[in-house]
């Protein structure tokens, strides 16, 4: 999520180096947990999960020397609040150009919050095939889950109040890397 209008910056909790280190550690954890990169695929959730997925794949290649396929998932059509919205959200394309059947899928998103996006993403992936396992990587886990969902890999656990907003900025989208806590002000 980018910086929204009318919000005041309360704290900067990760900078470029912090994000880089967290991703490097997660890349190692993914390789360790999956005992290498066999059958491994990485799928980023639009929007900011997408550059994070690519960065993880780059790091895994640096470490293991093997390329891991990267896909892009758009979960709009799987949202559970469509019938309550006054305006239909913009749909973007899902670009998963490989089969997920029997693959180890690592799902990547920037912020893990209520868990509803991940619920939608799980349905979206399962519509593409039957992976042997789906794991979740999130750069920030801010708590306040509304569904029984947890991350396998977390960059940083950040206790927040519901009034606050976590803004993840990534160079590919926002021009610079950083994680901010914002609040109304």
Partner 1 sequence: MTLQGKDLLGLLHKTESEIEYILDTAVPMKEIISRPLKKVPTLRGRTIVNVFYEPSTRTRTSFELAAKYLSADSVNISGSASSVVKGESLVDTARTVKALGADIIVVRHAMAGAAELMARTVSASVINAGDGAHEHPTQALLDMFTVREAKGTLKGLEVAIIGDITHSRVARSDIWGFSRMGARVRVCGPPTMIPHGIDTMGCKIFDKVEDALEGADVVIVLRIQNERQQQGLFPGLREYANMYGINSKRLGLAAPDALLMHPGPINRGVELTGEVADGQQSLIETQVTNGVAVRMAILYLLAGGGDANVPVD
Tell me which residues touch partner 1 (CB under 8 A): 1-2, 4, 47, 74, 77-78, 81-95, 123, 127-129
Which residue reads 């509803």 in tokens?
Answer: 116
Which residue reads 């109304």 in tokens?
Answer: 184
Residue number, 57 or 120, with CB nearest to partner 1? 120
139: left (phi over 0), alpha (psi -120 to 50) or beta: alpha
Residue number, 4 or 176, with CB nearest to partner 1? 4
Minimal distance, residue 46 CB to partner 1, in Å: 8
Determine the straight-line distance between the first and last CA of the chain, rounded to whole angstroms. 18
Q: Find out whether 143 and 160 touch, Cβ atoms under 8 Å.
A: yes
Residues β-bridged to residue 104: 40, 133
Minimal distance, residue 87 CB to partner 1, in Å: 5
According to DSSP, residue 95 is labeled B
Minimal distance, residue 108 CB to partner 1, in Å: 16
Minimal distance, residue 110 CB to partner 1, in Å: 10
Q: Which residues of 94-123 are buried (b: 16+ CB within 10 A; e: fewer)?
A: bebeeebeebbbbbbbbbbbebbbbbbbbe
Residue number, 28 or 47, with CB nearest to partner 1? 47
Residue number, 82 or 147, with CB nearest to partner 1? 82
Minimal distance, residue 65 CB to partner 1, in Å: 32
Residue number, 27 or 52, with CB nearest to partner 1? 52
């Amino acid at each position: 999520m980018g910086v929204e209008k009318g919000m005041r910056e309360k704290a900067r909790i990760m900078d470029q180096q912090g994000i880089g280190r967290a991703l490097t550690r997660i890349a190692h954890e993914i390789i360790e947990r999956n005992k290498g990169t066999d059958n491994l695929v990485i799928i980023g959730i639009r929007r900011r999960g997408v550059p994070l997925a690519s960065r993880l794949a780059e790091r895994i290649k640096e470490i293991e020397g093997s390329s891991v396929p990267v896909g892009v998932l758009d979960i709009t059509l799987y949202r559970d609040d469509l019938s309550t919205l006054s305006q239909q959200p913009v749909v973007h394309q899902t670009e998963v150009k490989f089969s997920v059947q029997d693959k180890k899928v690592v799902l990547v998103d920037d912020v893990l919050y209520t868990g509803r996006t991940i619920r939608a993403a799980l349905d979206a992936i399962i519509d593409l095939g039957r992976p042997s396992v789906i794991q979740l990587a999130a750069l920030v886990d801010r708590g306040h889950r509304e569904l029984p969902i947890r991350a396998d890999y977390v960059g940083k656990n950040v206790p927040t109040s519901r009034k606050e907003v976590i803004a993840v900025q990534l160079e590919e989208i926002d021009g610079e890397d950083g994680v901010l806590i914002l609040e109304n002000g």
